[in-house]
Chains A and B, each alone.
Chain A
Amino acid sequence: MASLIEEAPRFFGYYNLIFLGQAFAYTALLSLVGCGLGFLVGFGLAVLRNERIVGFAPLRWFATIYVEIFRRIPFLVKLMVVFFAFQLAGFDASMFAVAATTVALSASAFSAENIRAGLESVHRNQWDAAETMNMGGLTALRRVILPQAWAIIIPPSMTYSVGLVKSTSIASQIGVVELTYAAKILNQKGFSAAICFGTILILYFILCYPLNLFASHLERRLAPSRHR
């Protein structure tokens, strides 16, 4: 403890703070791309897979294959695949772009599955009623199905998002200096593991905790209990 207090002023020096701040920004940005873009694309995929909305079967197959493949490959392997795919295609992409692409690919596949499960939890007789009233698939989705599905979609999506924030640390494997990598570097520079990893532990918490608040906010807004 005494040594921690002793090295703290040096650890929290100007350059280290800038360094940690950048790493924090990378982690936050990767998480944001994953949660935001991932959820949007995942939503699109879940809709594409729904035969009440999409009549054209090949589109549904495409969405299914995409989801099933990207859910089954470990994150690190996906990272390598995207990395080499960019190289092969001759893109001079930054490591951050590679990591962000991977996070988006991965998150969209997992989100698609969470959203699909939510949509399917709504009884098919709701679709039947909407269809016989001439409501189009997307109108039924927006007015009837989604309001009933949010309560099922949000909790696993938020669990997944928190998991995603943590798995962005794997981007350190290709040299993206996000929080985990930053801690390792500072540790190698001679700071104690306790202060390095203790600091990023708090930073990860700062990143994840608002997600939980956001989740409960969403649940209140989108899936309110009707018996107030």
Chain B
Amino acid sequence: MPHLVIDRLSANYGTAPVLQDVSLSVERGEIVSIIGPSGSGKSTLLRVLTGLLKPHAGVVHVAGAQVDYGSAAALKKVRDRFAVVFQQYNLFQNMTALRNVTIAPTIVKKRDAAEVEREARALLEKVGLSHRIDAYPDELSGGQQQRVAIARALALKPEILLLDEVTSALDPELVAEVLDTIRVLAAEGMTMLIVSHEMGFVREISSKVVFMADGKVVEVGPPQQIFDAPQTERCADFVRRILRH
């Protein structure tokens, strides 16, 4: 049974449709990447999955159970399974790196503070920031902030990690450090749904690539297919323009 199944999901911003009949599935431990031009609905899909935007139609199954986005209790449960890393990091500006990582486990999940802190220190070490745990977000570089955000997401012990263009706001030389961190997670078998513009990375890490345009899934396939032998004109056109430079 797939870990995550999205079945004909649609969503609107006001009256404008931003997702139309989007379907895809992610197996346990699988890494699926979503690519496509700006405004194609990639990030919106992640917003719908985490309940930040209510779907208009369609269903989502996580670990075999259908998610009722209209119910606060069900939403709480599904959010416990996901963790999100945002394009703009979204670190809490009023907290140190360490506090950013420990706040949700202690305040929301009410776990033991000492144990959470031990885990948080280990996670920050894993992302290579054990020397910066007392720094505030505005004292960290973009790449460092994004790595704190990844540690924060992992502290929630998610089943599925959602990565929303996590390198798009970074300077080119900082991209590698964040991608390396994600590679480590991939090697550990974390289920991930990744929205990304880093085509080389997507090709290397994904078992499946989803190409979206205008709020719809245009083509799904293994990276070799999407990048080397796309089956649709739209996808071929996108890949040609992206890979040209």
Contact = CB atoms under 8 A, between A and B. Distances in A.
Partners in one complex: yes
Interface of A: 125-126, 128-135, 139, 143-144, 147-148, 226
A128 B50 CA distance: 10
B82 A132 contact: yes
A148 B136 CA distance: 13
Interface of B: 50-52, 76, 79-80, 82-84, 86, 88, 90-95, 103-104, 107-108, 136, 138, 156
A138 B227 CA distance: 46
B21 to A, nearest CB: 25
A125 B79 contact: no
Contact of A129 (B86, B94, B107, B108): B86
Contacts, number: 51
A125 B149 CA distance: 13
Contacts of A148: 93-94
Contacts of A130: 92
A144 B79 contact: no
13 contacts: A126-B90, A126-B93, A128-B52, A131-B52, A132-B52, A132-B84, A133-B83, A133-B103, A133-B156, A134-B80, A135-B104, A135-B108, A148-B93
Nearest to B135: A226
A152 B95 CA distance: 18
A30 B138 CA distance: 42
A88 B210 CA distance: 69
Contacts of A129: 84, 86, 90-92
Given A125-B86, A226-B136, A133 B108 contact: yes
A126 B103 CA distance: 13
Nearest to B156: A133
A135 B94 contact: no
Contacts of B50: 132
B52 to A, nearest CB: 6
A125 B90 contact: yes
A134 B90 contact: no
